[in-house]
Amino acid sequence: MRVAVIGMGYVGLVTASCLAESGNDVTGMDIDEARVARLRQGEVPIYEPGLEELVKHNLREERLRFTTNLAEAIRQAEVIFICVGTPPLPDGQADLSSLWSVGDALAESVTSEQLLVIKSTVPVGTNRRLMRRLHERAGRALEVASNPEFLKEGAAVEDFMKPDRVVVGVHSERAARLLEQLHAPFLRAGQPFLVMSPESAEATKYVANALLATKISFINEMANLCELLGADINDVRRGIGYDKRIGFQFLHPGVGFGGSCFPKDLAALASLGRQHGQPLRIVEAVLEVNERQKRILLQKMRRHYGSLAGKVIAVWGLSFKPRTDDIREAPALVLLEELLAQGATLRVHDPAALPNVRRLYGDRLTYCDKPYSTLEGADGLAIVTEWPEFRNPDFAHMGRLMRQKVIFDGRNLYEPRVVLQYGFQYYAIGRLIPPGPTSS
């Protein structure tokens, strides 16, 4: 099938590459000229496992091309995916200006045979609004379908290729069949292709993210309480997780959620609730708990050191989650900002996100290529993102590098007993720390 994908960010680029990989003829379009120039050379501007190989392979096979010209991108396309960003406005509502601008430009040239599909996460009702707007401007009926994306950064290619399910919101049988045909290669293990109204599809995306984020804030609150009660959240997790109604996923205590989706989608959902006279009290609380949780390591550090002025703190992990270089709304940024404000000196490491962090912080931080060199002369180590390479470090070596042997583990990576054996003081989230040099 001939496909156009508008917006070459995380979602658009993964969509375009995976659709090309399954044999479609795909044109990716973006207004960012520098990004398109790099993509044409096979250079992927974001870190996402497996993505660069896919882009290079499909460029070589001439199934994938990139342009900044919208009319050219859609000329031959049977299906046109819109994957532009929908960032939050100051009041939490989704900013749809990029979507409207693409819609208005499309109105000039799109034909009734072409199917438009919104993949961006948009407030419920946006699909129908875009259809109405196109009808007014183009003077003819055009169908817009909804196909929310559930991929996770860090595993985006894998998620797109092997989705748990595909959800589409359509107005016609024709649109459902076209989208089913396009997704068939990814649903060979029998995963469901779910057809519903555009409103239900749009709502599905928000409800899914709200529930996942609720699990995170819930377990974080419980972890904080366990700590005060002398219980261990790890045992509690095991105790509840085997209940099939509960399960283990998304119940890992930590320093809160970040990224470009959960915070913005929950804010947009809360705003939708307010607009419709039904404030979403759980969603609002999830966001509030999360803001507090981003400061949890800082609280533990203040309690440990008293003053942070002059302390050298090493930080492992800056991206909002492992296997991505994305630092949008990353909890690490809140920690860095507050530690700097309190006069600490920061040595930071991340396997992928250092260039993005350097763009924000310039020479306010010391950037270290390797985890161990980050520790030289440090008074403490804060672990913010659970990259796999931090899971089993050489504690003896770490201890020799550091000025004070203290670990503030924001992801509960280690078994407290083991860390204490090496003479560290260890702080984690909701863990019971056996008597040793200190306890959290």
81 binds ligand NAD (CB under 6 A): no
- The alpha carbons of the chain give a radius of gyration, in whole angstroms, of 24
By beta-carbon proximity to ligand NAD, the closer residue of 85 and 92 is 85
One-letter amino acid at 355 equals P
8 binds ligand NAD (CB under 6 A): yes
12 binds ligand NAD (CB under 6 A): yes
| Cβ atoms of 209 and 257 closer than 8 Å | no
From residue 109 to residue 128, the character string flagging contacts with ligand NAD as x (rule: CB under 6 A) and all else as - is -----------xx-------
Beta strands 144-146; 380-383: pairing state: unpaired
Query: What is the total count of residues that contact ligand NAD (CB under 6 A)?
Result: 26
From residue 276 to residue 305, the character string flagging contacts with ligand NAD as x (rule: CB under 6 A) and all else as - is ------------------------------
Residues contacting 223, CB < 8 A, separation 6+: 233, 253, 429, 430
Q: Please state, in angstroms and rounded to a whole number, the distance separating the CA atoms of residues 380 and 177.
A: 57
10 binds ligand NAD (CB under 6 A): yes
CA 64: distance to chain centroid? 25
By beta-carbon proximity to ligand NAD, the closer residue of 8 and 79 is 8
Residues 25-54 that bind ligand NAD (CB under 6 A): 29-32, 35
By beta-carbon proximity to ligand NAD, the closer residue of 4 and 313 is 4
Beta strands 312-316; 144-146: pairing state: unpaired
Task: Give the number of other Cβ atoms within 10 Å of residue 249's Cβ.
Answer: 9
The DSSP code for 411 is T
Q: How is the beta sheet containing 2-6 ordered, strand by strand? A: 64-67, 25-29, 2-6, 79-82, 115-118, 144-146, 166-169, 193-196
Q: What is the signed CA dihedral for 31, 37, 42, 43, rounded to 10 degrees? A: -90
24 binds ligand NAD (CB under 6 A): no
By beta-carbon proximity to ligand NAD, the closer residue of 356 and 412 is 356
Q: Which residue is nearest to ligand NAD (CB)?
A: 9
Task: Specify the stretch interacting with ligand NAD by CB under 6 A; choose among 97-105, 124-132, 180-188, 275-283.
Answer: 97-105
From residue 178 to residue 217, the character string flagging contacts with ligand NAD as x (rule: CB under 6 A) and all else as - is ----------------------------------------
Q: Please state, in angstroms and rounded to a whole number, the distance separating the CA atoms of residues 401 and 421.
A: 17
The answer to whether residue 18 is catalytic is no
| Cβ atoms of 157 and 51 closer than 8 Å | yes
Task: Name the minimum Å distance from CB 368 to ligand NAD.
Answer: 27
220 binds ligand NAD (CB under 6 A): no
The DSSP code for 164 is S
7 binds ligand NAD (CB under 6 A): yes
Residues that are catalytic? 261
Which residues of this protein are in contact with ligand NAD, per CB under 6 A?
6-12, 29-32, 35, 83-86, 98, 101-102, 120-121, 149, 151, 153, 260-261
